[in-house]
Amino acid sequence: MGSIKGNEPGRRAGGWGYAGSAGGADMMPRMPRTTSRKLRERQELVAAILPILKKTYPDARCSLDFKAPLELLVATILSAQCTDARVNVVTRGLFRKYRNAQAYARAPQEELERDIQSTGFYRNKAKSIRAMAAALIESHGGNVPRSMEELTHLAGVGRKTANVVLGNAFGQNVGIAVDTHVGRVSQRLGLTRHADPVKIEQDLMLIVPREDWTLWSHLLIFHGRQICIARQPRCAECPLRSHCQSAEGFLRAHAEKRRQA
């Protein structure tokens, strides 16, 4: 899912700060102060580009393979600092071997490490998965909970991972998952000035229609992989070019580099 993470394996359980003290899946982060004019401009921009993205990427979806909430939870933990393609290779065998929370919790640390080694950071990831599974058994009957608060109290699970699971396994738009692509594309479009994924999410939740929160992440991930590439964005062929505050600057820089070559 990219490298902007709020949920690195080995982190302490629990999420980031929320406004208020009420629990439940709809606990909302404290929103940044944004002028009404700037907010309206960003909302109008989203209204303009969202239909374009939907038309351009009609098959946008979660690129992690899963058939059950636990599988998606494990896959998302493994995706930290690892490509989704590599995770999918590893989980083909992993999901056949470990079919429930009990199997992960009982797995010897060293054995699970070997099973997930190619995803990187495998010691911390194995530790997090085993602790997460034990907590599912102890507190949730072996099942993946359906609320942000409960998910972010599991080992290795931060708000981003919880958003992925809630949105894609349970169909709940509680927040917006922000990975490298979502953050980069949002910044270039002028939808946020922040680099921190938590603050980026806060900005996006104010301007993206809630019913599209989960899909928005997939659309920006697809766009970030195919067009708005980190080092050499393909602005000349970008369907969002006329709406992007960064496109002309990248095009000028590219033209200058070609002249100097």
For residue 196, report the phi and psi dihedrals to the nearest 5 degrees. Answer: -75, 130
d(C-alpha 16, C-alpha 29), whole Å: 8
| Concatenated DSSP letters of 190-208 | TS----SHHHHHHHHHTTS
Is position 179 annotated as part of the catalytic site?
Answer: yes
Q: Which of 59, 179, 203, 257 is catalytic?
A: 179
Q: Which of 5, 115, 125, 160 is catalytic?
A: 160
Per-residue burial over 2-29, b if 16 or more Cβ lie within 10 Å, else e, is bebbbbbbebeeebeebeeeeeebebeb
Residue 109 burial class via C-beta count within 10 angstroms: exposed 0-12, middle 13-18, buried 19 and up: exposed
Torsion of CA 140, 7, 103, 121, to 10 degrees: -170
- Closest CA relative to residue 8, chosen from 91, 72, 78, 90: 78
For 18, the token pair is 């929320």
- Active-site residue list: 160, 179
